[in-house]
Homo-oligomer: A and B are copies of this chain.
Amino acid sequence: MREVFVGVDLGGTNIKLGCFDGELNLISKTSIPSRVELGPVSIIERTGQNIEKMLSESGLSIKDICAFGIGSPGVMDIEAGVVIAAGNMQFENVALRQMLSDYLGKPGVLENDANVTCWGEHVLGAGKGVDEMILITLGTGIGGGIIKNGKLMHGSSNNDVEVGHIIIYPDGRMCNCGQRGCVEAYASANATASRAKEAVKSGAISSLKKVFEKTGDITCKDVYNHVAKGDNLAKEISEGTAKALALLCINLLHVVGPKRIVFYGGMNKAGPLLLDPVKKFFNEHIWRLKKEEVELCFATLGDDAGIIGTAALAIQALKNGKIKA
């Protein structure tokens, strides 16, 4: 009998599943559509069924599972294993951990999605061996996870940290959260695209104009494609993104003191066009009191970070005696 740990990474579009041995070697992984409109009972049922299927294809069964970890978006009570609210999952007071535990007959842990990604990159990815790290997720919004002294940090209500809602431009752009000037309102993929669209609509000269006329939209990917082609507006927009991220890094540095800040998410595809100006603005805006040795870099695990992180948290919880097999 093998010792199997299951990692579940819930998202609005897909549910990613992975099974690992006790050394975090991947045995198998898969992905299924979330279909959030079917509700949480269906989500857990299909998650359970597909864990069974994934295991059986590797000659394993539910009996081989020691523990599972499940990551979800939303505001949650981690100790209780309950997602209090997650708009994009249509969850409201869902006892996610207990529901999956009931299905599998195994113990598990619940954690915030940004934190599991952070933990995954910490145990096997760009933050390996770095006990003071921050992961910043760049997507529709901006989120993140913080590791202090080798442990995930939580807010006081057991929630994740909300680094995307650090205000960098007071009274600036309106953010979805109701604040003005959040870094998320400038530097997320959506905000980067929006700023480009607004500029083009208001008559700025740019090769992005043709994209907009053709497709009725400009994406963040378009912006970086046109930076690569030398378009000035695209460059200006991308520098706004980079400066906002650099200011975020500086502010986090003064509070948390990380040794490494890892960027995660689809925007990473922009490569040096994203990261180089962030580093440039960071160096321009950081204090002169002492030399800071924080490294800014990209995540390395891609989509697997979440399932690795959740499985690793399950292994850790079992070791620590937080859960019992």
Contact = CB atoms under 8 A, between A and B. Distances in A.
Interface in A153-185: 153-157, 159, 161-163, 165-170, 175, 177-180
Contact of A177 (B170, B177, B178, B288): B288
B178 A156 contact: no
Interface stretch (A45-53, A92-100, A215-223, A246-254): A246-254
A160 to B, nearest CB: 9
Q: How many copies does the complex hold?
A: 2
Contacts of A258: 156
A156 B254 CA distance: 10
A299 interface: no
Which of the four size classes fits the interface of chain A? 35 or more
A325 B179 CA distance: 52
B255 A178 contact: no
Nearest to A155: B257
B75 A290 contact: yes
A167 B250 contact: yes
A168 B259 CA distance: 23
A278 interface: no
A254 B252 CA distance: 11
28 contacts: A75-B290, A132-B156, A146-B255, A148-B153, A153-B256, A155-B257, A156-B257, A156-B259, A157-B293, A161-B254, A161-B255, A161-B257, A162-B255, A163-B255, A165-B254, A167-B247, A168-B170, A169-B170, A175-B287, A177-B287, A177-B288, A177-B289, A178-B288, A178-B289, A179-B250, A179-B285, A179-B286, A180-B285
Interface of A: 75, 132, 146, 148, 153-157, 159, 161-163, 165-170, 175, 177-180, 243, 247, 250-252, 254-259, 285-290, 293-294
